[in-house]
Structure 1
Amino acid sequence: MTNISMSPFMNKIEWIDPPRKFTMPHFIPYKGDEDPDRHLKYYRSTMILYKNNNAFMCKNFTTTLQGEAQDWFHTLSPQSNQSFNELSFVFTKEYSSNRSIKMTSDHLFSIVKDPQETIRDYVKRFKVEKAKIVGCNEDIAIVAFRNRLPTEHPLFRKLIMREE
């Protein structure tokens, strides 16, 4: 058999049809300007029921690309891809510069309370930053928070007293 298109997928992928009664889930299109790992994780978790259907995972993934990312996909060499793992690898390699920088608990030491900021607003801002850290160390978070509070604030004294 000959190649049916200039698709980057091997024929065994190109010829596969979607599963019967498949309804495309809603995806936020990947345009090439965000973290590729986050998009892949979202795609895999949404398509979990089809994870063993390698060909379908490949073909369906391309429908989540838009703009620059869709253009990039069409630059791949014909018949160059034979699995979703390969597609994932070339995708993340292409957009690796857009990966999010993983923050550690130490990042919390850089959050300083502005003198005009209320304690309530500072706490909210601190919590938002803390939530961005996967596996945040609670002990470090407490020390970082306390160290950036004004020493004259009652909350600072309460936190100090708790440690003694």
Structure 2
Amino acid sequence: MSKALNQISKLLFTRWIGEGRLPRRFTQPIFTLYNGETDPVEHASHFNLKVAVHSKNEALICKVFPSSLGPVMMRWFDGLKAGSIDFFKELTQTFDSRFITCNRAPRPLASLLSLSMREGETLKTYSDRYWEIFNEIDGDFEDVAISTFKLSLPFEHGLRKSLTGKPITSIRQLMDRIDKYKRGDQSRSGAQENASTRPPLGTINVIFATPGRTGSHPARVIFVARSSAEDPNSELKKARLEI
């Protein structure tokens, strides 16, 4: 904490805070400076987390708080009435009330109603995007959120069919149903990857062993592929030899 800031603190805070001393081995955390363009409550919460180990030292957190303010915000701090701050709670209340207009504006309900699952978008990606917007909307719109999510899915999507056939009545139930289908998508994706590594249907592996060699080191392996089961009498289509 700089000497200049310490001097200002002595003037703005009441005497018992202004004359309070910081611990000898105190290391000031690095803060993201508040610039007046974001939520002041969120900034105060981040500050509290940074100084949580000193939460009972009222003088310390009061005197360190100005260090989290940017240059423009320091002008506001400098303009506070001398001796007006007696507790950290008073400081944060004054701070919040001054910059409350910087709170993030809630999203309108229309921003949720206009959502739809994009072509090629996974269920996980879309649901994350959906809940992010839903959480930024003020008001109780659970019923709307449930029906909107179902209708925003492609008509042929399995989850949409499930929600139509077995309706749910709460956001919690919707999230559980989404998680169930996300796990199903992951299982199907893994099965497809495993299938892609298997030999084609109808392939016969023929192993020739040379006398004196162990079975784990064959001399030659021939992969012979037959035609499909629809043409059982056709000749061998392909033979590949690996040595």
- TM-score tier, shorter chain, comes to 0.7 to 0.9
Which structure features the higher share of strand residues?
Answer: 2
How far 1:30 moved relative to its partner?
Answer: 0.7
Match of 1:58 in 2: 62
- Equivalent-residue separation in structure 1 for 2:130 and 2:18 (angstroms): 44
CA contact (8 A) 2:14 2:86 kept: yes
Match of 1:128 in 2: 129
Aligned residues: 157
With normalisation by structure 1, the TM-score equals 0.77
- Equivalent-residue separation in structure 1 for 2:52 and 2:24 (angstroms): 16
Unaligned runs of 5+ in 2: 1-6, 169-243
- Alignment of 1:22 onto 2:22: no
Deviations 1:73-122 (A, max 9, x none): 11111111111111011100010001134569x677434227xx325168
How far 1:129 moved relative to its partner?
Answer: 4.4
- Alignment of 1:112 onto 2:99: no
Q: Secondary structure at the match of 1:7?
A: helix
Relative contact order: is structure 1 or structure 2 higher (C-alpha 8 Å, sep ≥ 6)?
1
Q: 1:98 aligns with which of 102, 106, 112?
A: 102
Misfit runs of 4+, over 6 Å: 136-140
Match of 1:48 in 2: 52
Q: Could you tell me the percent identity over the aligned residues?
A: 24
CA contact (8 A) 2:55 2:61 kept: yes
Match of 2:73 in 1: 69
CA contact (8 A) 2:112 2:130 kept: no
Change (3 A) 1:125 1:24: farther
Q: RMSD over aligned Cα, in angstroms?
A: 3.2
How far 1:29 moved relative to its partner?
Answer: 0.8
- Equivalent-residue separation in structure 1 for 2:84 and 2:45 (angstroms): 23
